[in-house]
A and B are shown apart, each in its own frame.
Chain A
Amino acid sequence: MTNLQIGFSGIVALIVLISAGVPLAFGISLIGIVGISVVMGLQQAGVQLFQVTFITTTDFILTSIPLFILMGQLVAVGQLGRDLYNCVQKWMGWLPGGLAVATVASCAALGAVTGISVAGIGALGPIALPEMRRHGYDSKLAAGSLASASTLAIMIPPSVSFIVYGIWTETSIGQLFIAGIIPGIIMTIVFCAYIVFTSIRDPSRAPRGPSHSLSERMQSVVGVMPVAVVFVGMIGGLYFGWFTPSEGAAVGCSAIALILFLMGRLTWAGIVESVTTSARISIMIFAILIAAQLFSRFIVVTDVQRIMVEHVTGADFNRYVVITLILALYLFLGMILDGFSMMLLTLPFVFPVIRQLGFDAVWFGIVLTLMVEVGLLTPPVGLNCYMLHKIAPEISLGEVFQGVLPFVFLCLGCAALFTAFPEIVLWLPRRAFVY
């Protein structure tokens, strides 16, 4: 059996194991261990596994993953999401579909201090959903707007998705963070515009909310100041090169903890809940990251990666046809895999193709993250939809999936827009960094 045949057999075995439901991290690592053992011996497989584990878990830049997640968890347990929603709702509630618009804007703002999408549903779901239902909102629109808007958290920096992509592809995480700002804002505006348009067309789906006086609005701003200050400080620090993403994450975490302490909202139970949830998610990500790196090494030593990349780039396809096919592949994979696994398993094959075709690594990171967002919404896996159904069981899963469908099309429209006009993504990082 040649190395190439071993490589392809490994890929087939991996698909079988993952499809059957073996936990991703261990299924991937098993193929990596067995594959490297067959090609280079068990001793070498052990050396590779230990190296990958030790290097990954002691990498300073990876500290930003648990810290950004922790920051989001602190914001959630400290009820800062409630203050944020209260403020945005006072300013935007009067719009057609105002409460849904406020939910989208609050999720976007919350995304500015958390790196994962489910934090938005957890923090805002128990507040925004009852409010929208009380005002007679259509449950599909209410559920769709919340589930979809919470995905904005991984587009708006800080984003764990950008960190994982940046580490895997050796792309600057700072550039990715800055590049995510404009697409994140555009998507927020597109989501809000859709809700307003739908509400104007059929006011019974989302009636206008109450209007508030200027003094009430100004008072509500006080509640969001902590989140605003932390976000501006963190992103400003990255933009001006004052600190690295890991330092930004740590400073942001400490600042949020200090603010909650001063507000009297930092309890021991809250701290324990925040740190255990952050560690649980981080360990899951780290395990997949380690397994995927091992698998990637196996793919490289068997030469499968080179052959596949040569085949794709050697064929005389227009590069936009290739990128469309790649995005279609991600749309499909997003339906069956979680975002991190999808990213880590495909990048060894896809990223060299992207670079060979002359696409920008930062731009692709943004578009890939957008496809991860879509994967969080599409059935049958659609993690955000399940999360939302969990906290609001009175809204059926079918209604949630129907509710997110227009937002999925809006996301795909944004992906097409960013592909046609990459400057939308690259303009800001090019101003901040010379590259």
Chain B
Amino acid sequence: MKFERAARVIFIAACVIALPAIALLVTGDTILRYFFAWPLAWSQDAVGVALFLLFCAGLPYSWYGDFHVRMDMIYLRLPSVVRMAVDIIGIVAALAFGILLAYRSIISVADAYRHNSWLPSGVIPIWPVQAIGAIFLILFCFAMLDSLRIRWQRRGASAK
């Protein structure tokens, strides 16, 4: 429950900061470009970073918050044991997605740091962005493990 609450706080904070920032930054850049011929060279990179971090920060809460669509026509008619098995497959699938992505992110952070990689505008270094993303992706993996634990406990409770 505590983990879910923490994931929710991260999600709301990311939304409240990232989305208005993206809207204002792109608006500002558009106005500067068309009215003053003075575009912000780094704005598209910054927007991309904000969007990437918003996605990664939202992932841990996405499972608890039931963001992801599923085809529930058959699912709702399944016996509870089979439905639980489907839920566990879903969690394992999400875990595979999260673990692989987090693992690659960590490797990419090291690569980007070693090669001193920057985003195209040359203003934003890549490694800190990917490092923050990797932290959120690790949190997503923990969220999935937490969901798996909750599911397992429910299974135990229903067996009793």
Contact = CB atoms under 8 A, between A and B. Distances in A.
Contact of B48 (A21, A45, A60, A253): A60
A45 B100 contact: yes
Interface stretch (A47-55, A131-139, A311-319, A421-429): A47-55
Contacts of B62: 280, 283-284, 287
A58 B71 contact: no
A49 B73 CA distance: 29
Interface residues of A, number: 61
A283 B62 CA distance: 8
A276 B9 CA distance: 11
Q: Is the interface of A mostly helix, strand, loop or mixed?
A: helix
Interface of B: 11-12, 14-16, 18-20, 22-27, 29-30, 34, 44, 47-49, 51-52, 54-56, 58-59, 62, 65, 67-76, 78, 83, 86, 89-90, 92-94, 96-97, 100-101, 103-105, 108, 130
A262 B86 CA distance: 50
A57 B51 CA distance: 6
Given A57-B51, A60-B48, A275-B20, A25 B100 contact: no
A20 B26 contact: no
Contacts of B55: 53, 57, 282-283, 286
A251 B48 CA distance: 17
A398 interface: no
Nearest to A52: B101
Contacts of B89: 17, 20, 22
Contact of A284 (B47, B68, B83): B68
Q: 8 closest pairs, A vs B, by CB?
A: A21-B75, A58-B48, A250-B26, A50-B104, A30-B93, A23-B68, A26-B93, A254-B27
A26 B90 contact: yes
A268 to B, nearest CB: 9
Contacts of B52: 54, 57-58
